[in-house]
Amino acid sequence: MINLLDLDPAAMTAFFAERGEKPFRAKQTLRWVHHRLADRVELMSDLAKATREALARDAEIRAPSVVRDSTAADGTRKWLLDVGNANAIEAVYIPETDRGTLCVSSQAGCALDCAFCSTGKQGFNRNLSVGEIIGQLWHANRALLADGIAAPWVEHGRHPITNVVMMGMGEPLANFDNVVTALEIMLDDNAYGLSRRRVTLSTSGLVPALDRLGDACPVALAVSLHAPNDALRDRLVPINRKYPLAELLAACLRYIEKAPRDFVTFEYVMLDHVNDGPEHARELIALVRDVPCKFNLIPFNPFPNTEFKTSSRTRILAFQRILRDAGLIATIRKTRGEDIDAACGQLAGQVQDRTRRTLRRIQPVAAQ
């Protein structure tokens, strides 16, 4: 059985061509699946009856099923989705006044083992299929519409989700082909029609794949930086040992040439007395001197058995001040959905703790 959520426009066209159908059938079907969010082929009333019946025999629309659906006091909504073999992934909806953002997962678990990450501690299970990635967007739009979401853009006929961030579980560039196909469906006018500026991919820094993304499907870019030098980043983000900062920043500059936005967003998780001192801020300023960028400072969201603590508000504000005084844009991420464990990987981690790694003890660096 073909899952229609797996097919990008080219694959949908090929699928119908094999069946002796005209290319416009592919467009019609894409619109049914992604515009109208149909969950059954039988609903596709403008397909000829014979075409529809034949399609219903061979194809279905199958998104991951919902294990848990929780809404926080601030409106953040999180779906825990079953992807088989006791694996669960998460999709998180973050409502704001002018947009609805969905944080999408790309892998069940993650192999990169960043020291501060709940998902990394669960180990790697597998890559998500295209249908499992795009199914998160399809499902979130359907669920929000079914619940009668009130948002001005929905009243004008747009989907509830206006922005996508590939920042959920997994390293998107480690599942390159499926992620790029899913991005193409997000961007296609016969599917979700999102602009490249409204789709952001976040990577921990797989340099060759970042170059490939710039050629294949440039969208807005966020990079998980988290440290101002290689010694500390080697410990916090182990992929840095393979692709150190100089290589990563050079790749960012190459990417910006092709990207829809002329800057990179650097994410920087604030770990108390590990990477949040004034000397780290000053080192960071020197490091990114030549890279057009913005900083997103993220208060660490603790999870069971972590060795890290959240930086105090005072330390975060002092860090932000140093960056701003140097002319950098630095915002502090608002903590959302705390009452439903909305930080990446926390809920799936409760469902299945696959921790097989020994937690490494990271000594505080240059404690204040």
**Which residues contact ligand SF4 (rule: CB under 6 A)?**
110, 112-114, 117, 119-120, 169-171, 204, 224
Catalytic residue among 103, 117, 293, 344: 344
Closest contact distance (angstroms) between CB of 120 and ligand SF4 is: 3
Q: Which is nearer to ligand SF4, 32 or 243 (CB)?
A: 243
Please answer whether residues 264 and 252 qualify as being in contact, where contact means their C-beta atoms are separated by less than 8 angstroms.
yes
Strand pairing category for 264-270 and 220-224:
parallel
Q: Which is nearer to ligand SF4, 131 or 205 (CB)?
A: 205
Q: Which is nearer to ligand SF4, 102 or 143 (CB)?
A: 102
> Between the CA atoms of 6, 10, 15 and 20, what dihedral angle is there, to the nearest 10 degrees?
160
Closest contact distance (angstroms) between CB of 106 and ligand SF4 is: 9
CA distances from 32 to 91, 135, 354 (A): 23, 14, 38
Closest contact distance (angstroms) between CB of 118 and ligand SF4 is: 7
Residue whose Cβ sits closest to ligand SF4: 120
Concerning whether 344 is annotated as a catalytic residue, the answer is: yes
Q: Which is nearer to ligand SF4, 60 or 353 (CB)?
A: 353
Distance CA 168, CA 201 (A): 10
Closest contact distance (angstroms) between CB of 2 and ligand SF4 is: 30
Q: Return all residues near 212 (Cβ < 8 A) that are at least 6 apart.
A: 176
Please answer whether residues 205 and 185 qualify as being in contact, where contact means their C-beta atoms are separated by less than 8 angstroms.
no
Positive/negative CA dihedral, 347, 348, 351, 353 = negative
Which residues are part of the catalytic machinery? Answer: 90, 344
